[in-house]
Structure 1
Amino acid sequence: MRTIVIDTLPSDIVKIILAINLVMTIVISLLLIIGALKRNRWMMLPWVILAIMLAIGMAISIIYTAIVFFTHKAVTSGVIWLLGLLGIAIFIYLWFVVFSYYQLLEEEKGRGPYARPPRR
């Protein structure tokens, strides 16, 4: 709670917003799992979209925070924040894993999971 600074909203409203955010993230993650198990790519789509938006937002946030530390002469803290980009790289790799499965389901549409791929 201390990392979120919203001066115009009371803290109870901020807690409600965070709770709704958590519930929606859980629902979208469950859709991903169910979609992967049932081989339904449309159920996976909300997670694919949300995850890439989160990766971009986290990368911007990490870079911005590191720049703020560097401008305040806290070089060590800035470097530590930049190490967070490694986590973003892992997150993007995992996103590509899910996205490749999403694309595989698109290719399998109409031919079934055990048919040979079309000749090119």
Structure 2
Amino acid sequence: MSELATQHCEACSADAPKLNDDEIRQMQADVPEWEVKVVDGEKRLSRVFKFKNFAGALAFTQKVGDLAEEANHHPALLTEYGKVTVDWWTHKIGGLHRNDFIMAAKTDKAYEG
């Protein structure tokens, strides 16, 4: 388990620096199942979580939503039969911040638990 999962998000302002490619690679080592993708010119962390049915996917979506509310940091969530796609990025800066990796690790922990 990544120790990122025990950390807390920091308040982020619009002028906070985005992580550069080297920083992203270093942090991605702690959440290796997440991929970096670009959507509308912004880098995001993305992962698809698998479930046996819609009920399991929906329950996981609620867990991630609860984590997001607690941290005041919100992902894009797509809930489908048997899977949930989660994308984390920092809207205020239009890219990736340390907070996104913390939340990815917390999401992984919620999936395992």
Question: TM-score, normalization: structure 2?
Answer: 0.29
Structure richer in strand, relative to its length: 2
Indicate the structure (1 or 2) with the bigger Cα radius of gyration: 1
Higher relative contact order (CA 8 A, sep 6+): 2
Question: TM-score, normalization: structure 1?
Answer: 0.28
Structure richer in helix, relative to its length: 1
